[in-house]
Amino acid sequence: MGVQLIGIGTAVPEFALSQSQVRDLFLAEPDIAPLTARLVRAAYDNSAIERRHTVIEDLAGGGGDFLEPETHAVRNPGTATRNARYAREAPRLSEAAARRALENAGVEPGEITHVVTASCTGFYAPGPEYRLVRDLGLDSTVEREHIGFMGCAAAIPALRSAWRICLTDPTATVLVACTEVCSIHIRSSSEPDQIVASAVFADGAAAAVVTAPPAAPSSHRTVSPAPCAGIDGLHHRPHDRRRAGHGVDHRRPRFRDDTHRQRSSHRWTRGPRSARTDP
């Protein structure tokens, strides 16, 4: 029997803003350059996002660590302030998503044998996987691991880790939780990359229950298990980066013709134009 994903749960912070509210917050920045304003409008208006959830209630206009109370200008708090908000809010999101995943899978917390977590927007020690085991009241013998700072695609390595665990131990039931609190890194910037990041990333968590055999009936379960999905295709050949989804071609560039190759070679090997002796 292949490895199966038998339940998913999600969680977001209670506080939410419309995309236009966040856009207007940046457009109201003092002395914003016209080009920056154009980039902000383009990024937010074309994001196809209507509403976003955040752990930063300051953004409603009341002011605080991230927003000036009077001018409503975006503040730039230090790493300690940002990470303290992460350490406070991320565990709550992870636990909420995990409990919903367990409920949707029809699995009791005591049936979990392994926990895999993933996050890149903050850190604390003991880590998110330890905190999740504690908050859910799981057995202290539950094996756990954390995948940190792998970015947006970390859920795939996390699920792949669960897949490998289940292949090794067909009796395993793995809880995977991915949590990001991106809004704590909000800052005013004229850089296109930062503007886009502020426009598309928000806060939330998702969790999944992964197991090898079909879930066995349990007298403690009050809901029917949700339909499962096979995840046996998560592995890939490590040497084939394009197949793995990276989209990076590491081969040497191909030139259109020999003339282009020669001109390119001259451009990088010759000195300044004034020092050249060839016509």
Query: Tokens representing 80?
Result: 């300690």
Which is nearest to 235 in space by CA: 10, 6, 2, 9?
A: 2
Q: List, in sequence order, every residue forming a beta bridge with 174; answer none if it has no partner.
A: 114, 210
Based on the residue annotation, tell me whether 152 is a catalytic residue of this protein: yes
Which is nearest to 148 in space by CA: 128, 121, 119, 184?
A: 119
As a whole number of angstroms, the distance between CA 221 and CA 218 comes to 5
Among 152, 178, 182, 228, the active-site one is 152
Please state, as a whole number, how many other Cβ atoms lie within 10 Å of the Cβ of residue 230. Answer: 12
Instruction: Output the 3-class SS for 224-270.
Output: CCCCCEECHHHCCCCCCCCCCCCCCCCCCCCCCCHHHHHHHHHHHHC
Angle at 11 between CA 81 and CA 94, to 5 degrees: 60
Query: Which residues participate in catalysis according to the annotation?
Result: 152
